[in-house]
Amino acid sequence: MAREDMDKAAYFKALSSLDEDSDDESTISSSRDKLTTSLPPHHKSSPHKHNETVDPKQNATPQLERSLSAPTPNSPSPVHLIKETPLVSIKNRLQQGRTGTPLSNEVSFVAETPTSPKPIQSGGARPLRKTSAPTPTTLNRGAQFPSFSSAALGKRKRKEPSIKLVPEQHRIFKDLVFFYVPPDDIAPVRRARIVKAREYGATWATEWTETATHIIADKHLSYADITSFLKISSIPDHIILVNELYPLDCIQFKAILNPNQKQYLLKGYEPTTKDSAAGTPAQPPSSPAPQQSLELKTARPKPGRWSYVPPKATPDRSQNGGDRQSALPEAGEMDDVTRSPEHAEAAVYGTIGDEDTTEPLGAGPVVESPQSVEEVSRADDDLDEIIKGALKVQHLPLDDDEDDASPTGSPHHGGDSSDDNGSPKTKRKHITRKPNFNQEGFSCMKGGTIDASSLNPNARTISILQEMAAYYTRMDDTWRPIGYRKAITTLKKQNKLVSTAEEAVKLPAIGQRIADKIEEIVHTDKLRRLDNTKSDHNDIILQLFLGIYGVGISQATTWLQQGYTTLEDLLAHASLTDNQRLGIDHYQDFQTRIPRAEVSALAKIVADTARGIDRGIEAIVAGSYRRGAESCGDIDVLLTKPGTSACSELTPLLYKLVSQLRASGMLVAPLSVGRTESSSKWHGCCVLPGQEPPIWRRIDFHLAPASELGAALLYFTGNDIFNRSIRLLASKRGMRLNQRGLYKSVMRGPGRAKLNEGELVEGADEKKIFAELGVPWRPPEERVC
DNA sequence: TGGCTGTACTG
DNA sequence: CAGTACA
DNA sequence: GCCA
């Protein structure tokens, strides 16, 4: 869940200092300002992998730089802005759909066609027929609003990445004009490629023109796709048609390669005899990623620092493919699964989260009815046994949650949450300064519940918006996903279908643009903007790579640029960290959700082992399990012990625990281990002993001394959105919340930067933390935002 | 116009 | 330090 | 993306 990088988008924004003309996107202009004005020449040009640093000189003369790369005389600036999305107002489209074909599917866009009728062309010098603008509406709009600027739609523009030309002698693409199909640079990967080509001297034609020397097509496109896209019967002889590998290889080999090699050809394309083509060095070994089967992977020494070889470390066992079908992660993250409550299992487990009444940690009420479990584990008796056994104690850790509630102070919010809801202020005995912000607006004030998601009348809309958020995350956009998530949170709280934009825009966190999308979704059951991405192979590969533990957007993007397309490619040719290699070896395992019963079984082992080390240790399963999820992505175990007040009192115990669990075969590899005395976490992998075939699971241990237990529980229970929300709320109240406690009197500098630690307000009691913040207490299952 | 959580490990 | 991870 |  929430694997996010907060800074990249900012970086990309910063990168694009070279905006053309007036630009209606406020955020952009702000970042531009930041670069061009507040940034003195050298200062912080964000370091980054993609070394497209902002050249100060360039800031001074952006126009110059740009025209440098535009040798064609007639195009004042072929590299003007590309719009992200066809600028057709939703309403227009809907209307059109109604009058024309009901669903107007064909009116849909051609990919991300740049309609960009940017004023620049005023000279009319461009011989462009805008054949690439297929939709009547688009043309229409273009005609009517040549300098259309965001009227109803708001900001849509993408800004120009900065181009840093390589030294002249290396500009192998000098005098070449590339036309890309599709002609956009929305995905960072494509953008980076285009930028790269331009750095090597290419001119980027953003609209189709016969002055282009090359057409660079996405490699999944066929020749027919190109001609139909360009609305021409054949590609003119003088234009070279190649796929996207071509420029990459040229750059790699610092030469213009023979474009007629088969790895560069499009499906259905016979290079016309113009193959005399360019001088070519022998044979570029094509992209660095040929694919071979590589049986070697099993032979490869285990990546984990432990030399342990699991019973069967089946990297990709296809045999029991039953539960792990697709190599790709599911789009929707069903963290807190919504599923068949008719499952007895579900019923049984569903309750433990909050249930387990006032059990002190120890023994507990038995939850019977293992019948459902049978089905899960049918194949394996041992597993069955273990799970049955686990059922008897499965509530074990969970009670603490109640535990710390009842006995401790705050008697009034213990049982009756209604009271809490009524007047949050009353419980804040001291302080109680009224917020000058709208506290109700925080999603942590009113969490959701698990089943709400499936029953919500807006479920369809929500799931599509979630896909959008995920898409933008993959596109390395930091902030849009946040916007989408907030809108989704709002939508989840509606108990009736929101069908019009007008209605939607009144809701909190829903602005005009998302409102329009909501309307489109409700009326057409889909979002064209999203459909476009579905067929994007690069996006699919990106998803594949991002599914690897230890791989984030940066690495995934880099690999994609380097031409890798499969996990095998990576194993064979990419340089991988140990964790990444392990992540690939167990890709399917980690992608497979863990049934609640198995989490229980694993937790029992941990708890039993821990108690063998020290009777006082409590093992509490947090994470989505504590929130009542029917299946979990990983196992989060909080380790604590009454009377402790520092992690250092627990680390030796953790050390012993890990070593025993390792010896018993449950833990199979470490991934990330605390470095210091006071550090508090251990991340690694485990398998349920006896499981056949064994499935590696991600397991995390967190240490929490009793004095920090409440904050740790809060943190470790999540969900992530709830955490962010409540932390933001704390920060707005001049406090700071982290996994150790709630602090007040935090001094913050510019940008809320923390200046001091603050004074501890509460750490031990989860409910008191809620109370201090004026947030109504809610049980873990309701912290699904 | 500048926010959008806060921390910890890896290499 | 940037990247990734954790909720 | 949205919001103050």
Query: Mean pLDDT, consecutive 10-residue segments, chain A of 785 residues?
Result: 32 29 29 28 32 32 27 30 28 29 25 29 28 27 27 33 63 83 67 73 82 81 74 84 74 66 72 42 36 34 52 38 37 36 26 30 26 26 26 26 28 31 33 63 81 80 96 94 94 93 96 98 95 92 98 97 96 97 98 98 98 97 97 98 96 96 98 91 98 97 97 97 96 94 80 76 97 96 91
A479 touches strand B (CB under 7 A): yes
Strand (E) positions, A148-202?
177-181
Please, are residues A619 and A638 in contact by the beta-carbon 8 Å criterion?
A: yes
CA A1 / C1′ C6 distance in Å: 9
Render pLDDT for A389-440 as a digit per residue (tens, 0 to 9): 222 222 222 222 222 222 223 323 333 332 233 233 333 333 344 457 888 8
CATH number of domain containing A203? 3.40.50.10190
A93 in a domain, yes or no? Answer: no
The 8-class DSSP code of residue A316 comes to T
CA A335 / C1′ C6 distance in Å: 15
Strand D, nucleotides covered by protein (CB < 7 Å): 1-4
A547 and A652 fall within a common domain: no
* Final residue of a structural domain among A556, A587, A618: A587
Residue A560 to residues A8, A189, A290, A587, Cα–Cα distance (Å): 17, 7, 13, 18
A518 and A554 fall within a common domain: no
Of A83, A517, A767, A768, which residue is the catalytic one?
A517
Measured CA to C1', the nucleotide nearest A718 is C7
End-to-end, the C-alpha distance of chain A in Å comes to 13
Comparing every residue's Cα with the C1' atom of nucleotide C5, the nearest one is A3
A603 and A499 fall within a common domain: no
Position A383 scores a pLDDT of 23
A698 touches strand C (CB under 7 A): yes
CATH number of domain containing A575? 1.10.150.20
Spatial CB neighbours of A772, under 8 Å, sequence gap ≥ 6: A428, A735, A742, A761, A762
Measured CA to C1', the nucleotide nearest A647 is B8
A487 in a domain, yes or no? Answer: yes
A546 and A598 fall within a common domain: no
A203 in a domain, yes or no? Answer: yes
A525 and A493 fall within a common domain: yes
Please, are residues A771 and A617 in contact by the beta-carbon 8 Å criterion?
A: no
Strand C, nucleotides covered by protein (CB < 7 Å): 1-7
Instruction: State the residue range of the domain holding A483.
Output: 442-535
Measured CA to C1', the nucleotide nearest A505 is D2
The CA distance from A255 to A390, in Å, is 64
CA A526 / C1′ D1 distance in Å: 19
CA A435 / C1′ B1 distance in Å: 23
A521 and A553 fall within a common domain: no
A626 and A710 fall within a common domain: yes
Please, are residues A18 and A80 in contact by the beta-carbon 8 Å criterion?
A: no
A347 in a domain, yes or no? Answer: no
Torsions phi, psi for A555 (to 5 deg): -65, -40
A336 touches strand C (CB under 7 A): no
Whole-structure pTM value? 0.57
Torsions phi, psi for A48 (to 5 deg): -165, 160
Residue A249 to residues A28, A256, A259, A571, Cα–Cα distance (Å): 33, 9, 10, 21
A576 and A465 fall within a common domain: no
* Final residue of a structural domain among A513, A535, A557: A535
Spatial CB neighbours of A362, under 8 Å, sequence gap ≥ 6: none
Please, are residues A458 and A525 in contact by the beta-carbon 8 Å criterion?
A: no
Measured CA to C1', the nucleotide nearest A484 is D1
The CA distance from A334 to A340, in Å, is 13
A736 touches strand B (CB under 7 A): yes
CA A5 / C1′ C4 distance in Å: 8
A325 in a domain, yes or no? Answer: no
Comparing every residue's Cα with the C1' atom of nucleotide D3, the nearest one is A509
In chain A, which residues from 741 to 760 place their CB closer than 7 Å to nucleic acid strand D?
none
Comparing every residue's Cα with the C1' atom of nucleotide B3, the nearest one is A751
For residue A506, list its beta bridge partners: none
In chain A, which residues from 594 to 623 place their CB closer than 7 Å to nucleic acid strand B?
none
CA A684 / C1′ C5 distance in Å: 12
Comparing every residue's Cα with the C1' atom of nucleotide B6, the nearest one is A738
A367 touches strand D (CB under 7 A): no
Measured CA to C1', the nucleotide nearest A529 is D1
Measured CA to C1', the nucleotide nearest A511 is D2
In chain A, which residues from 3 to 42 place their CB closer than 7 Å to nucleic acid strand D?
26-27
A514 touches strand D (CB under 7 A): yes
Q: Which two tokens stand for residue A53?
A: 């640093």
Spatial CB neighbours of A173, under 8 Å, sequence gap ≥ 6: A197, A198, A200, A201, A202, A247, A250, A256
Q: Which two tokens stand for residue A402?
A: 């109640």
CA A701 / C1′ C4 distance in Å: 18
CA A718 / C1′ B1 distance in Å: 31
Spatial CB neighbours of A444, under 8 Å, sequence gap ≥ 6: A722, A725, A726, A729, A775, A783, A785
Task: Tell me the Ramachandran region of residue A316: left when phi exceeds 0, alpha when psi lies from -120 to 50, beta otherwise.
Answer: beta
Strand B, nucleotides covered by protein (CB < 7 Å): 1-11
A564 and A529 fall within a common domain: no
A716 touches strand C (CB under 7 A): yes
CA A734 / C1′ B5 distance in Å: 14
Q: Count the domains in chain A.
A: 4
A680 touches strand C (CB under 7 A): no
Is A517 one of the catalytic residues? yes
Comparing every residue's Cα with the C1' atom of nucleotide B10, the nearest one is A672
CA A554 / C1′ C2 distance in Å: 10
A649 touches strand C (CB under 7 A): no
A674 touches strand B (CB under 7 A): yes
CATH number of domain containing A661? 3.30.460.10
Measured CA to C1', the nucleotide nearest A11 is C2
Identify the burial level of A689 via C-beta atoms within 10 angstroms of its C-beta, where 0-12 means exposed, 13-18 middle and 19 or more buried.
middle
A772 in a domain, yes or no? Answer: yes
CA A91 / C1′ C5 distance in Å: 42
Measured CA to C1', the nucleotide nearest A513 is D1
CA A503 / C1′ B6 distance in Å: 35
A552 touches strand C (CB under 7 A): yes
CATH number of domain containing A477? 1.10.150.110
A54 touches strand D (CB under 7 A): no
Comparing every residue's Cα with the C1' atom of nucleotide B1, the nearest one is A30
A116 in a domain, yes or no? Answer: no
Position A451 scores a pLDDT of 67
A737 in a domain, yes or no? Answer: yes
A484 and A582 fall within a common domain: no
* Final residue of a structural domain among A253, A271, A292: A253
Comparing every residue's Cα with the C1' atom of nucleotide C6, the nearest one is A716
A603 and A690 fall within a common domain: yes
Torsions phi, psi for A428 (to 5 deg): -80, 90
CA A426 / C1′ B7 distance in Å: 32
A657 and A742 fall within a common domain: yes
